[in-house]
């Protein structure tokens, strides 16, 4: 007889008995998978929409809403584990902060993008990000760090055969050298960048399959290089080279569908006039003063036009004196 005080013993049931089998309905599993997949697609769609809207605001210069939407997109892509799109958003955020001159945040997002690009092994993305980081650190005044990033960007561009990337890296590297006071070395780098830009521009004109945006980007970079190189030669007091760069800038700008903005063009014409006078070429100076005067009148800048008229008067006087001196070298100068 069993005692009432004896402890209760667990009853063991074999695992393969039908009483403990869990029903496995294939339709339930398929339904769960569909729900998970739908949720994933919904997150992807939301992130894509936030990114699209953020880029639209960015193009319009509406930086505050663009920033909020891009950060939402970034968080969603992180949750989804989509590193390729994470990198795209990170680089866009870095560019946004660069545009508003917040270079600390621009560098921070650039470093985040570089880490993701390295994880992906995406050389093209790394090259683009290194270029951005070099520019950000140049503005922050950390020229040594800027040189390191720019040097790596140039090396990668050569490795992957990215000629436009190589052109941009050389131009940006030249800006760092000029900021360090190495003006002659900067001029050499600008010349190398300009050579690639000219080649790309010529091939783009010959090859109609090149997209309009690519051709426009190459042209804009070419204009920037010509301006930078002209300024560098002006600093070196190599006036004929400076004049050549500035006149090529005017020609390239006039040749495109969208000329350079009037402020930049006027600045170039001022530099051209100074360089021409320094060379003693008053005819050339007068031609550029007249061009500048026509722009000032078209813009309704009466004050600027009055100053340019005075400059033209002095230019004609200097030209007359130079002609008299050439015809009668025995006469004393005025």
Looking at the chain, the number of H-run helices and the number of E-run strands are: 13, 0
Rounded to two decimals, the pTM is: 0.78
DSSP-assigned states of every residue in 235-297: HTT-HHHHHHHHHHHHHHHHHSSSPPPHHHHHHHHHHHHHHHHHTT-HHHHHHHHHHHHHHHH
Distance CA 288, CA 272 (A): 7
The pLDDT assigned to 213 comes to 54
Q: What is the pLDDT of residue 263?
A: 92
CA-nearest of 144, 137, 192, 129 to 166 is 192
Q: Give 148-217 as a DSSP string.
A: HHHHHHHHHHHHHT-HHHHHHHHHHHHHHHHHTT-HHHHHHHHHHHHHHHHHHHHHHHH-TTS-HHHHHH
Per-residue tokens: 44: 């992807």
Q: What is the pLDDT along the chain (334 residues), one digit of tens a residue?
A: 445 555 555 555 444 555 555 555 566 555 556 655 655 567 788 888 889 999 999 999 999 999 999 999 999 999 989 999 999 999 999 999 999 999 999 999 999 999 999 999 999 999 999 999 999 999 999 999 999 999 999 999 999 999 999 999 999 999 999 999 999 999 999 999 999 999 987 665 545 445 555 566 778 889 999 999 999 999 999 999 999 999 999 999 988 667 778 999 999 999 999 999 999 999 999 999 999 999 999 999 999 999 999 999 999 988 887 776 666 565 455 4
Q: What is the pLDDT of residues 158-205, one digit of tens each?
A: 999 999 999 999 999 999 999 999 999 999 999 999 999 999 876 655
Task: Report all structural domains of the chain as residue ranges with CATH numbers, in order of start.
Answer: 103-203 (1.25.40.10), 264-328 (no CATH)
C-alpha–C-alpha distance, residues 239 and 232, integer Å: 10
What is the token pair recorded at 57?
């605001």
Asked if residue 274 lies in contact with residue 255, where contact means CB atoms within 8 angstroms, the answer is: no
* pLDDT computed for residue 327 by the predictor: 61
Residue 191 CA to residue 193 CA, distance in Å, equals 5
Q: Are 190 and 136 in contact (CB under 8 A)?
A: no
Spatial separation of the C-alpha atoms in residues 275 and 230, rounded to whole Å: 10
* Residue 265: both structure tokens together: 């063009």
Q: Tell me the C-alpha distance between 83 and 186, whole Å.
A: 37
Contact between 227 and 249 (Cβ < 8 Å): yes
Rounded to whole angstroms, the Cα distance separating 52 from 144 reads 36
pLDDT confidence of residue 129: 97
Q: Which region holds residue 300: left if phi is over 0, alpha if psi is between -120 and 50, else beta?
A: left
pLDDT tens-digit map of 55-83: 999 999 999 999 999 999 999 999 989 99
Q: What is the CA radius of gyration of the chain?
A: 32
């Amino acid at each position: 007889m069993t005692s009432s005080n004896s402890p209760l013993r667990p009853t063991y049931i074999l695992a393969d008995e039908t009483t403990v089998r869990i029903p496995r309905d294939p339709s339930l599993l398929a339904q769960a998978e569909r729900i998970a997949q739908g949720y994933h697609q919904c997150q992807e769609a939301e992130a894509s929409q936030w990114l699209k809207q953020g880029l639209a605001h960015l193009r319009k210069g509406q930086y505050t809403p663009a920033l909020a939407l891009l950060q939402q997109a970034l968080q969603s892509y992180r949750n989804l584990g989509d590193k390729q799109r994470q990198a795209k958003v990170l680089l866009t955020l870095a560019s946004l902060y660069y545009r508003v001159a917040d270079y600390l945040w621009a560098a921070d997002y650039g470093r985040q993008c570089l880490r993701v690009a390295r994880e992906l092994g995406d050389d093209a993305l790394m090259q683009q990000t290194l270029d951005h980081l070099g520019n950000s650190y140049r503005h922050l005044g950390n020229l040594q760090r800027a040189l390191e990033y720019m040097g790596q960007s140039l090396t990668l561009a050569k490795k992957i055969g990215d000629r436009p990337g190589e052109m941009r890296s050389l131009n940006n590297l030249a800006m760092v050298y000029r900021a360090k006071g190495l003006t002659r070395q900067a001029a050499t780098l600008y010349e190398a960048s300009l050579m690639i830009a000219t080649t790309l521009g010529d091939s783009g004109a010959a090859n109609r399959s090149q997209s309009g945006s690519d051709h426009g980007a190459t042209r804009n970079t070419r204009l920037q290089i010509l301006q930078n190189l002209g300024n560098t030669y002006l600093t070196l007091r190599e006036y004929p080279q400076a004049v050549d760069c500035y006149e090529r800038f005017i020609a390239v700008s006039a040749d495109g569908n969208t000329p350079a903005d009037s402020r930049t063009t006027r600045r170039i014409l001022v530099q051209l006039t100074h360089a021409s006078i320094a060379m003693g070429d008053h005819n050339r100076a007068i031609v550029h003063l007249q061009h500048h005067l026509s722009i000032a009148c078209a813009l309704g800048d009466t004050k600027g036009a009055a100053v340019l008229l005075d400059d033209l008067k002095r230019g004609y006087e200097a030209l007359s004196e130079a002609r008299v001196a050439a015809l009668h070298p025995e006469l004393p100068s005025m």
